[in-house]
Amino acid sequence: MADFDPPFASVGGVNRSPTTDEQSGGFSCGSADLTLFNRLLGRIEAELKAVQDEGGITGSEGDDTTVLQAIQAMILAATGGGDVSNYVLFTQAQARLPIFPEAQTSDGKITVTAPSTGTVRVPSGVTVLHRGIRTITTAETDLTTTASKTYHLRCAIAAGTLTFSLEDLADTGYNPTVAAETNSAFDSTYDDMLVARVVTNSSNVATITNLVNKDRLFATEIVSGAPSTGPSGSFTLSLTKTIDWARAPKIRAIHGNVASNSPNPAGSVDGYAAYLSSSTVTRYSAAGTVITDWVTGNTNSSMVGYISFDLGA
């Protein structure tokens, strides 16, 4: 039957639910108790009618597919319709979407603090967006440190939970290749965040560098400064830009120049100009040195320089 309105024998007080003993041990052989029989069928029909009602389908004694129609109608209402192969389950999306976790704060950081010697604290109430679809909120978590250590404070994300831990760089289980702390192998991944670097001194006082966790990380800035005098009349400018990202930049464009402010500078360029002699990039900062080589006669007082940093991860 597909018309469950009203459900079978649901009026007139002619049904009863099974007793506890009947639920666990079944029914005795012999004639069925009419009220019990009515209730057992009526309960099934009542459940099916609730599905019909939710899907907006009217039951019909001549149609045995109305519950299926109701389920399909609810799926249609929730998704907008179309080929079901175009849809992905929430759990599947969490495993497939190549999106880095994001701390939903203005600066992209979960601000870890040290409330007392030997303890670092993850704050409560910070929302983390996982794989671009699930939001999870941090709970206040205290972690214990030891003196004279360098740690990575990490957060593993699974099944809608955040699990924070302090990983000792000297621990061969965490760092079997004894890689440098800045090695990109320790960067945040899709399901594991590098939240902060924690360095303790001999008194177990922690210095914490909180890191930016965003799916996309970009930085473009031109930094200027006064150069110093180098060999053979050259002028050298060295500048650093702090970024403190949870992932080392993959895009690294650094260039600059050293020039004279004076409209008629003494001397002239000799050999090379705007030469990037060195550069280093880590998840914490980018640094570069540019040199312009002048013939003898120019003075540092009229010189100015800049370095442009274009970074992305």
Over residues 41-54, the pLDDT tens digits come to 777 878 888 889 98
- The per-residue pLDDT for range 226-267, each reduced to its tens digit, is 888 776 667 888 999 999 999 999 999 999 988 766 666 666
What are the residue ranges in the chain where pLDDT is below 50? 1
Q: Specify the CATH architecture of the domain 218-312.
A: Sandwich (2.60)
pLDDT for 175: 98
Q: State the Cα–Cα distance between residues 163 and 289, nearest whole angstrom.
A: 41
What's 42-58 look like in SS3?
HHHHHHHHHHHHHHCCC
Q: How far apart are CA 168 and CA 207, in angstroms?
A: 15
At residue 1, the pLDDT reads: 45
Nearest to 134 by CA among 106, 154, 162, 111: 162
What are the tokens at 167?
Answer: 């990983």
* Residue type present at position 86: N
Which pLDDT does position 35 carry in this prediction?
77
Where along the chain do its domains lie?
A: 20-87, 102-210, 218-312
Task: In whole angstroms, give the CA distance from residue 190 to residue 183.
Answer: 17
- Tell me if 97 sits within 8 A of 132, measured CB to CB: yes
* The predicted structure's pLDDT at residue 146: 98
